[in-house]
Structure 1
Amino acid sequence: MSDLQAELEDLKRENARLRKLLKLTDAEAGPARGTQTAWFDKAPGPVDARSSPQTKVEFYAALFGARRDVYAVRWENARTGKSGWMPAVEGGWRKDRPASDIRHLPLTPEVLAAHLTGDVHIGLYPMLPGDQTCWLAADFDGHAAMLDALAYLKAARAAGASAALEVSRSGIGAHVWIFFTGPVPAATARQLGTALVREAIAIRGRMDLRCYDRLFPSQDVLPGRGPGNLIAAPLQGKSRKLGTTLFL
Protein backbone atom coordinates (compact mmCIF):
# COMPACT_ATOMS: atom_id res chain seq x y z
CA MET A 1 0.00 0.00 0.00
CA SER A 2 2.86 2.39 0.80
CA ASP A 3 4.33 1.84 -2.68
CA LEU A 4 0.99 2.63 -4.32
CA GLN A 5 0.62 5.77 -2.21
CA ALA A 6 4.11 6.92 -3.17
CA GLU A 7 3.33 6.29 -6.85
CA LEU A 8 0.12 8.30 -6.53
CA GLU A 9 1.97 11.21 -4.95
CA ASP A 10 4.57 11.12 -7.75
CA LEU A 11 1.81 11.26 -10.36
CA LYS A 12 0.17 14.19 -8.57
CA ARG A 13 3.44 16.12 -8.54
CA GLU A 14 4.03 15.39 -12.23
CA ASN A 15 0.49 16.53 -13.07
CA ALA A 16 1.02 19.76 -11.17
CA ARG A 17 4.32 20.42 -12.95
CA LEU A 18 2.86 19.83 -16.41
CA ARG A 19 -0.24 21.92 -15.66
CA LYS A 20 1.98 24.82 -14.68
CA LEU A 21 4.10 24.52 -17.82
CA LEU A 22 1.05 24.59 -20.11
CA LYS A 23 -0.93 27.07 -17.99
CA LEU A 24 -3.95 24.79 -17.87
CA THR A 25 -7.05 26.07 -16.11
CA ASP A 26 -8.88 23.86 -13.62
CA ALA A 27 -11.54 23.14 -16.24
CA GLU A 28 -8.98 22.17 -18.88
CA ALA A 29 -7.04 19.96 -16.48
CA GLY A 30 -10.09 18.37 -14.89
CA PRO A 31 -11.39 14.86 -15.58
CA ALA A 32 -12.90 14.21 -18.98
CA ARG A 33 -16.55 15.15 -19.15
CA GLY A 34 -19.12 15.82 -21.83
CA THR A 35 -20.47 13.11 -24.10
CA GLN A 36 -18.14 10.50 -22.62
CA THR A 37 -20.43 10.32 -19.59
CA ALA A 38 -22.94 8.58 -21.87
CA TRP A 39 -20.82 5.46 -21.45
CA PHE A 40 -22.02 5.19 -17.86
CA ASP A 41 -25.64 5.10 -19.01
CA LYS A 42 -24.97 1.92 -20.99
CA ALA A 43 -24.39 -1.62 -19.82
CA PRO A 44 -22.44 -2.52 -17.75
CA GLY A 45 -22.88 0.96 -16.21
CA PRO A 46 -20.52 2.76 -13.81
CA VAL A 47 -17.41 0.81 -12.83
CA ASP A 48 -15.18 1.31 -9.80
CA ALA A 49 -12.68 -0.64 -7.69
CA ARG A 50 -15.50 -2.60 -6.07
CA SER A 51 -16.92 -3.83 -9.38
CA SER A 52 -16.51 -7.49 -10.27
CA PRO A 53 -13.70 -8.51 -12.64
CA GLN A 54 -16.32 -9.48 -15.23
CA THR A 55 -17.95 -6.04 -15.08
CA LYS A 56 -14.57 -4.33 -15.45
CA VAL A 57 -13.73 -6.41 -18.51
CA GLU A 58 -17.15 -5.68 -20.02
CA PHE A 59 -16.67 -1.95 -19.53
CA TYR A 60 -13.15 -2.09 -20.98
CA ALA A 61 -14.44 -3.96 -24.04
CA ALA A 62 -17.21 -1.40 -24.55
CA LEU A 63 -14.99 1.65 -24.08
CA PHE A 64 -12.08 0.44 -26.21
CA GLY A 65 -14.31 -0.86 -28.97
CA ALA A 66 -12.12 -2.48 -31.62
CA ARG A 67 -12.21 -5.32 -34.10
CA ARG A 68 -13.25 -8.51 -32.36
CA ASP A 69 -12.13 -10.96 -35.06
CA VAL A 70 -8.43 -10.18 -34.65
CA TYR A 71 -6.00 -8.68 -32.16
CA ALA A 72 -2.23 -8.36 -31.85
CA VAL A 73 0.21 -9.62 -29.23
CA ARG A 74 3.55 -8.14 -28.25
CA TRP A 75 6.63 -10.33 -28.57
CA GLU A 76 10.12 -9.89 -27.17
CA ASN A 77 13.36 -11.72 -27.92
CA ALA A 78 15.54 -11.72 -24.82
CA ARG A 79 18.60 -12.84 -26.81
CA THR A 80 18.52 -10.11 -29.46
CA GLY A 81 16.66 -7.46 -27.48
CA LYS A 82 14.20 -7.03 -30.33
CA SER A 83 10.46 -6.68 -29.83
CA GLY A 84 7.36 -6.01 -31.87
CA TRP A 85 3.75 -6.90 -32.56
CA MET A 86 2.04 -9.59 -34.57
CA PRO A 87 -1.55 -10.76 -35.04
CA ALA A 88 -2.55 -13.57 -32.71
CA VAL A 89 -3.13 -16.75 -34.72
CA GLU A 90 -4.02 -20.35 -33.99
CA GLY A 91 -0.92 -22.40 -33.31
CA GLY A 92 1.39 -19.37 -33.35
CA TRP A 93 3.50 -18.04 -36.21
CA ARG A 94 5.91 -20.20 -38.20
CA LYS A 95 8.10 -19.07 -41.08
CA ASP A 96 7.07 -21.93 -43.34
CA ARG A 97 3.36 -21.65 -42.63
CA PRO A 98 1.26 -20.93 -45.76
CA ALA A 99 -1.02 -17.91 -45.63
CA SER A 100 -4.05 -20.07 -46.39
CA ASP A 101 -3.44 -21.96 -43.14
CA ILE A 102 -3.45 -18.87 -40.90
CA ARG A 103 -6.48 -18.37 -38.66
CA HIS A 104 -6.66 -15.23 -36.55
CA LEU A 105 -7.74 -15.58 -32.95
CA PRO A 106 -10.73 -13.47 -31.84
CA LEU A 107 -10.55 -10.79 -29.17
CA THR A 108 -12.52 -12.39 -26.33
CA PRO A 109 -13.27 -11.35 -22.73
CA GLU A 110 -10.68 -13.90 -21.63
CA VAL A 111 -8.01 -12.21 -23.75
CA LEU A 112 -8.93 -8.79 -22.34
CA ALA A 113 -8.80 -10.16 -18.80
CA ALA A 114 -5.34 -11.62 -19.46
CA HIS A 115 -4.20 -8.22 -20.74
CA LEU A 116 -5.51 -6.40 -17.68
CA THR A 117 -3.85 -8.85 -15.29
CA GLY A 118 -0.55 -8.70 -17.18
CA ASP A 119 -0.36 -12.20 -18.64
CA VAL A 120 -0.17 -10.78 -22.16
CA HIS A 121 0.11 -7.36 -23.82
CA ILE A 122 -2.33 -6.95 -26.67
CA GLY A 123 -2.76 -4.47 -29.49
CA LEU A 124 -6.12 -3.21 -30.75
CA TYR A 125 -7.20 -2.68 -34.35
CA PRO A 126 -9.57 0.32 -34.38
CA MET A 127 -11.01 0.01 -37.90
CA LEU A 128 -14.48 -1.53 -37.81
CA PRO A 129 -16.60 -2.75 -40.74
CA GLY A 130 -17.66 0.12 -42.97
CA ASP A 131 -14.43 2.01 -42.19
CA GLN A 132 -15.76 3.22 -38.86
CA THR A 133 -14.19 3.64 -35.44
CA CYS A 134 -15.31 4.00 -31.82
CA TRP A 135 -12.37 6.16 -30.75
CA LEU A 136 -9.48 8.30 -31.92
CA ALA A 137 -6.00 8.16 -30.40
CA ALA A 138 -3.12 10.55 -31.06
CA ASP A 139 0.38 9.16 -30.53
CA PHE A 140 3.29 11.26 -29.26
CA ASP A 141 6.88 10.04 -28.84
CA GLY A 142 10.13 11.73 -27.88
CA HIS A 143 11.64 14.07 -25.31
CA ALA A 144 8.78 16.62 -25.53
CA ALA A 145 6.01 14.07 -26.03
CA MET A 146 4.15 14.81 -22.81
CA LEU A 147 4.12 18.58 -23.36
CA ASP A 148 2.89 18.17 -26.93
CA ALA A 149 0.27 15.67 -25.79
CA LEU A 150 -0.95 18.07 -23.11
CA ALA A 151 -1.25 20.84 -25.70
CA TYR A 152 -3.34 18.47 -27.82
CA LEU A 153 -5.42 17.60 -24.76
CA LYS A 154 -5.96 21.30 -24.06
CA ALA A 155 -7.02 21.87 -27.67
CA ALA A 156 -9.48 18.99 -27.48
CA ARG A 157 -11.13 20.23 -24.31
CA ALA A 158 -11.25 23.80 -25.62
CA ALA A 159 -13.16 22.43 -28.61
CA GLY A 160 -15.56 20.57 -26.33
CA ALA A 161 -14.15 17.14 -27.12
CA SER A 162 -13.54 15.14 -23.95
CA ALA A 163 -10.09 13.58 -24.06
CA ALA A 164 -7.99 11.36 -21.80
CA LEU A 165 -4.18 11.25 -21.52
CA GLU A 166 -2.33 7.93 -21.26
CA VAL A 167 1.35 7.38 -20.51
CA SER A 168 2.50 4.96 -23.19
CA ARG A 169 4.28 1.68 -22.52
CA SER A 170 7.74 3.18 -22.98
CA GLY A 171 7.14 5.76 -20.26
CA ILE A 172 8.46 8.55 -22.51
CA GLY A 173 5.54 8.76 -24.90
CA ALA A 174 1.85 9.54 -24.60
CA HIS A 175 -1.50 8.76 -26.19
CA VAL A 176 -4.47 11.11 -26.11
CA TRP A 177 -7.77 9.25 -26.50
CA ILE A 178 -11.15 10.59 -27.58
CA PHE A 179 -14.05 8.16 -27.21
CA PHE A 180 -17.22 8.42 -29.26
CA THR A 181 -20.60 7.24 -28.01
CA GLY A 182 -20.99 5.16 -31.16
CA PRO A 183 -19.08 4.25 -34.32
CA VAL A 184 -18.24 7.18 -36.60
CA PRO A 185 -16.51 7.26 -40.01
CA ALA A 186 -12.77 6.96 -39.55
CA ALA A 187 -12.30 9.84 -42.00
CA THR A 188 -14.40 12.12 -39.78
CA ALA A 189 -12.50 11.09 -36.65
CA ARG A 190 -9.18 11.74 -38.36
CA GLN A 191 -10.33 15.16 -39.57
CA LEU A 192 -11.05 16.02 -35.95
CA GLY A 193 -7.62 14.78 -34.90
CA THR A 194 -5.83 16.75 -37.61
CA ALA A 195 -7.65 19.93 -36.62
CA LEU A 196 -6.67 19.41 -32.99
CA VAL A 197 -3.02 18.96 -33.97
CA ARG A 198 -3.11 22.35 -35.71
CA GLU A 199 -4.71 23.93 -32.65
CA ALA A 200 -2.16 22.29 -30.36
CA ILE A 201 0.65 23.82 -32.42
CA ALA A 202 -0.95 27.24 -31.91
CA ILE A 203 -1.29 26.65 -28.17
CA ARG A 204 2.33 25.58 -27.78
CA GLY A 205 3.59 28.39 -29.99
CA ARG A 206 5.61 25.63 -31.56
CA MET A 207 5.36 21.86 -31.58
CA ASP A 208 8.23 19.49 -32.15
CA LEU A 209 6.63 17.51 -34.96
CA ARG A 210 9.06 14.70 -34.29
CA CYS A 211 7.07 14.05 -31.11
CA TYR A 212 3.73 13.82 -32.90
CA ASP A 213 3.73 10.44 -34.59
CA ARG A 214 0.30 9.60 -35.97
CA LEU A 215 -3.40 9.15 -35.39
CA PHE A 216 -5.18 5.87 -34.80
CA PRO A 217 -6.99 4.86 -36.94
CA SER A 218 -4.13 5.62 -39.32
CA GLN A 219 -6.27 5.38 -42.45
CA ASP A 220 -9.56 6.84 -43.65
CA VAL A 221 -10.41 3.55 -45.34
CA LEU A 222 -8.90 0.09 -45.52
CA PRO A 223 -8.14 -0.60 -49.19
CA GLY A 224 -7.20 -4.24 -48.69
CA ARG A 225 -8.24 -7.18 -46.54
CA GLY A 226 -5.80 -6.50 -43.71
CA PRO A 227 -6.89 -5.21 -40.29
CA GLY A 228 -5.01 -1.90 -40.56
CA ASN A 229 -2.69 -0.34 -38.00
CA LEU A 230 -2.79 -1.34 -34.35
CA ILE A 231 -2.25 0.56 -31.12
CA ALA A 232 -1.02 -0.94 -27.86
CA ALA A 233 -3.98 -1.45 -25.54
CA PRO A 234 -3.79 0.62 -22.34
CA LEU A 235 -3.96 -0.49 -18.70
CA GLN A 236 -1.78 -3.56 -19.16
CA GLY A 237 -1.30 -5.33 -15.83
CA LYS A 238 2.50 -5.49 -15.58
CA SER A 239 3.03 -2.08 -17.16
CA ARG A 240 0.64 -0.46 -14.69
CA LYS A 241 2.91 -1.55 -11.85
CA LEU A 242 5.72 0.36 -13.57
CA GLY A 243 3.59 3.49 -13.91
CA THR A 244 2.93 3.17 -17.65
CA THR A 245 -0.14 2.51 -19.82
CA LEU A 246 -1.99 4.47 -17.13
CA PHE A 247 -4.31 7.43 -17.57
CA LEU A 248 -3.33 10.65 -15.80
Structure 2
Amino acid sequence: MSSYDELLEENIKLKSEIEQLKKEIAALKSHVSATDNKKQINSHSININSTLEEKIKLYRSLFHGRNDVFALRWDNESKNTCGYKPYCINEWKHGICNKSEVKCSDCDFRKYKSLEDKDIIDHLSGQKTIGLYPHECHHIAAFTFEKVMKAAKAKYVLGLTF
Protein backbone atom coordinates (compact mmCIF):
# COMPACT_ATOMS: atom_id res chain seq x y z
CA MET A 1 0.00 0.00 0.00
CA SER A 2 1.32 3.44 -0.88
CA SER A 3 1.80 6.12 1.72
CA TYR A 4 -1.02 8.11 0.07
CA ASP A 5 -3.42 5.17 0.48
CA GLU A 6 -2.33 4.72 4.08
CA LEU A 7 -2.92 8.42 4.81
CA LEU A 8 -6.30 8.28 3.10
CA GLU A 9 -7.31 5.25 5.15
CA GLU A 10 -6.14 6.94 8.35
CA ASN A 11 -8.08 10.07 7.40
CA ILE A 12 -11.29 8.04 6.97
CA LYS A 13 -10.77 6.32 10.33
CA LEU A 14 -10.16 9.66 12.07
CA LYS A 15 -13.26 11.24 10.54
CA SER A 16 -15.31 8.30 11.74
CA GLU A 17 -13.81 8.60 15.21
CA ILE A 18 -14.56 12.34 15.26
CA GLU A 19 -18.22 11.68 14.42
CA GLN A 20 -18.45 9.09 17.20
CA LEU A 21 -16.83 11.49 19.68
CA LYS A 22 -19.29 14.23 18.68
CA LYS A 23 -22.16 11.87 19.46
CA GLU A 24 -20.63 10.98 22.82
CA ILE A 25 -20.11 14.66 23.65
CA ALA A 26 -23.74 15.46 22.81
CA ALA A 27 -24.95 12.56 24.98
CA LEU A 28 -22.73 13.67 27.87
CA LYS A 29 -23.85 17.31 27.56
CA SER A 30 -27.45 16.18 27.59
CA HIS A 31 -26.81 13.95 30.62
CA VAL A 32 -25.06 16.77 32.51
CA SER A 33 -27.96 19.10 31.71
CA ALA A 34 -30.47 16.53 32.96
CA THR A 35 -28.41 16.01 36.11
CA ASP A 36 -28.32 19.78 36.73
CA ASN A 37 -32.10 19.88 36.45
CA LYS A 38 -32.48 17.22 39.16
CA LYS A 39 -32.12 19.86 41.85
CA GLN A 40 -34.64 18.78 44.40
CA ILE A 41 -38.11 20.06 43.70
CA ASN A 42 -40.77 18.91 46.06
CA SER A 43 -43.63 17.88 43.77
CA HIS A 44 -46.01 18.34 46.71
CA SER A 45 -45.29 22.08 46.62
CA ILE A 46 -46.10 22.52 42.91
CA ASN A 47 -49.64 23.74 42.30
CA ILE A 48 -51.68 25.95 39.99
CA ASN A 49 -50.12 29.04 41.60
CA SER A 50 -46.52 27.87 41.08
CA THR A 51 -44.35 29.91 38.76
CA LEU A 52 -43.74 28.82 35.21
CA GLU A 53 -40.05 28.34 36.07
CA GLU A 54 -40.97 25.96 38.93
CA LYS A 55 -43.26 23.94 36.65
CA ILE A 56 -40.60 23.65 33.96
CA LYS A 57 -38.00 22.64 36.54
CA LEU A 58 -40.34 19.93 37.84
CA TYR A 59 -41.03 18.69 34.31
CA ARG A 60 -37.31 18.48 33.55
CA SER A 61 -36.66 16.67 36.85
CA LEU A 62 -39.31 14.06 36.03
CA PHE A 63 -38.60 13.56 32.33
CA HIS A 64 -35.04 13.02 31.20
CA GLY A 65 -33.90 12.64 27.66
CA ARG A 66 -31.64 14.11 25.08
CA ASN A 67 -31.69 17.90 24.96
CA ASP A 68 -30.11 18.14 21.52
CA VAL A 69 -33.24 16.74 19.80
CA PHE A 70 -36.83 15.94 20.66
CA ALA A 71 -39.79 14.39 18.88
CA LEU A 72 -42.85 16.23 17.66
CA ARG A 73 -46.19 14.47 17.22
CA TRP A 74 -47.78 14.50 13.78
CA ASP A 75 -51.34 13.60 12.81
CA ASN A 76 -52.73 12.70 9.39
CA GLU A 77 -56.48 13.00 9.78
CA SER A 78 -57.25 11.84 6.23
CA LYS A 79 -55.42 8.54 6.80
CA ASN A 80 -56.28 8.42 10.52
CA THR A 81 -52.62 7.93 11.44
CA CYS A 82 -50.26 9.64 13.84
CA GLY A 83 -46.74 9.30 15.17
CA TYR A 84 -43.62 11.14 16.25
CA LYS A 85 -40.69 12.48 14.25
CA PRO A 86 -37.54 14.36 15.16
CA TYR A 87 -38.18 18.11 15.12
CA CYS A 88 -36.20 19.51 12.17
CA ILE A 89 -35.65 23.27 12.01
CA ASN A 90 -35.44 23.16 8.22
CA GLU A 91 -38.57 21.11 7.58
CA TRP A 92 -40.62 22.53 4.67
CA LYS A 93 -38.35 25.61 4.36
CA HIS A 94 -38.45 26.77 0.74
CA GLY A 95 -35.17 26.14 -1.07
CA ILE A 96 -33.82 23.92 1.73
CA CYS A 97 -36.28 21.12 2.43
CA ASN A 98 -37.22 18.83 -0.41
CA LYS A 99 -39.26 16.44 1.72
CA SER A 100 -41.51 15.39 -1.15
CA GLU A 101 -38.50 13.85 -2.93
CA VAL A 102 -35.94 13.08 -0.18
CA LYS A 103 -36.56 11.16 3.03
CA CYS A 104 -35.70 13.16 6.14
CA SER A 105 -33.15 10.55 7.20
CA ASP A 106 -31.32 11.04 3.87
CA CYS A 107 -31.50 14.84 3.83
CA ASP A 108 -28.22 16.76 3.88
CA PHE A 109 -29.99 19.79 5.37
CA ARG A 110 -31.66 18.20 8.38
CA LYS A 111 -30.95 20.16 11.53
CA TYR A 112 -32.56 19.05 14.76
CA LYS A 113 -33.98 21.54 17.22
CA SER A 114 -32.73 21.48 20.81
CA LEU A 115 -35.31 21.12 23.57
CA GLU A 116 -35.92 24.54 25.12
CA ASP A 117 -38.17 25.76 27.91
CA LYS A 118 -40.50 27.29 25.29
CA ASP A 119 -41.08 23.80 23.82
CA ILE A 120 -42.00 22.48 27.26
CA ILE A 121 -44.37 25.43 27.78
CA ASP A 122 -46.01 24.75 24.40
CA HIS A 123 -46.33 21.08 25.37
CA LEU A 124 -47.84 21.74 28.79
CA SER A 125 -50.28 24.29 27.34
CA GLY A 126 -51.41 21.85 24.64
CA GLN A 127 -50.05 23.79 21.67
CA LYS A 128 -47.92 20.84 20.59
CA THR A 129 -47.13 17.35 21.80
CA ILE A 130 -43.50 16.44 22.26
CA GLY A 131 -41.67 13.22 23.03
CA LEU A 132 -38.23 12.67 24.46
CA TYR A 133 -35.46 10.52 23.05
CA PRO A 134 -33.45 8.52 25.58
CA HIS A 135 -29.81 8.99 26.35
CA GLU A 136 -27.81 6.17 24.75
CA CYS A 137 -26.77 4.83 28.12
CA HIS A 138 -30.14 5.12 29.87
CA HIS A 139 -33.08 2.77 29.96
CA ILE A 140 -35.94 5.18 29.33
CA ALA A 141 -37.94 5.07 26.12
CA ALA A 142 -39.28 8.02 24.15
CA PHE A 143 -42.58 8.93 25.73
CA THR A 144 -44.88 11.84 26.27
CA PHE A 145 -45.94 13.57 29.41
CA GLU A 146 -49.58 12.53 28.96
CA LYS A 147 -48.81 8.82 29.42
CA VAL A 148 -47.25 9.48 32.80
CA MET A 149 -49.95 11.95 33.83
CA LYS A 150 -52.56 9.20 33.52
CA ALA A 151 -50.64 7.03 35.94
CA ALA A 152 -49.71 9.79 38.40
CA LYS A 153 -51.89 11.03 41.20
CA ALA A 154 -53.82 14.16 40.22
CA LYS A 155 -52.58 16.18 43.18
CA TYR A 156 -49.02 16.00 41.83
CA VAL A 157 -49.77 17.05 38.27
CA LEU A 158 -52.70 19.40 38.74
CA GLY A 159 -50.44 22.41 39.11
CA LEU A 160 -48.42 21.61 35.98
CA THR A 161 -51.06 22.20 33.35
CA PHE A 162 -52.18 25.68 32.48
State the TM bucket, normalised to the shorter chain. Answer: 0.5 to 0.7
Pick from 134, 142, 145: which aligns with 1:234?
Answer: 145
Distance (whole Å) between structure 1 residues aligned to residue 149 and residue 128 of structure 2: 13
**What is the match of residue 88 of structure 2?**
89
Q: Which amino acid aligns with 1:102?
A: R
SS in 1 for 2:77: coil
Aligned-pair CA distance for 1:123: 0.7
1:49 aligns with 2:57: no
| Structure 2: segments with no counterpart, 5+ residues | 1-37, 93-98, 154-162
**What is the match of residue 117 of structure 2?**
109
Aligned-pair CA distance for 1:95: 3.4
Deviations 1:94-118 (A, max 9, x none): 2334522100011110000100000
Distance (whole Å) between structure 2 residues aligned to residue 90 and residue 126 of structure 1: 20
Distance (whole Å) between structure 2 residues aligned to residue 62 and residue 77 of structure 1: 32
Q: Which amino acid aligns with 1:70?
A: V
Q: Which amino acid aligns with 1:122?
A: I
Q: Which amino acid aligns with 1:47?
A: I
1:122 aligns with 2:130: yes
8 Å contact kept, 2:69–2:112: yes
Higher Rg of the two aligned structures: 2
SS in 2 for 1:127: coil
Distance (whole Å) between structure 2 residues aligned to residue 68 and residue 120 of structure 1: 17
TM-score scaled by length of structure 2 = 0.55
SS in 1 for 2:67: coil
Q: How many residues are treated as equivalent by the alignment?
A: 104
SS in 1 for 2:145: coil
The structure whose residues are more often helix, as a share, is 2
8 Å contact kept, 1:116–1:235: no
Q: Which amino acid aligns with 1:91?
A: N
| Structure 1: segments with no counterpart, 5+ residues | 1-40, 134-185, 187-215, 218-229, 237-243
The structure whose residues are more often strand, as a share, is 1
Aligned-pair CA distance for 1:77: 0.9
Aligned-pair CA distance for 1:44: 5.2
Distance 1:74 1:42, change over 3 A: same
8 Å contact kept, 1:115–1:122: yes
8 Å contact kept, 1:47–1:56: yes
8 Å contact kept, 1:72–1:87: yes
SS in 1 for 2:60: helix
Distance (whole Å) between structure 1 residues aligned to residue 101 and residue 112 of structure 2: 17
SS in 1 for 2:119: helix
8 Å contact kept, 1:75–1:83: yes
Instruction: Report 1 or 2 for greater relative contact order, CA contacts < 8 Å, sequence distance ≥ 6.
Output: 2
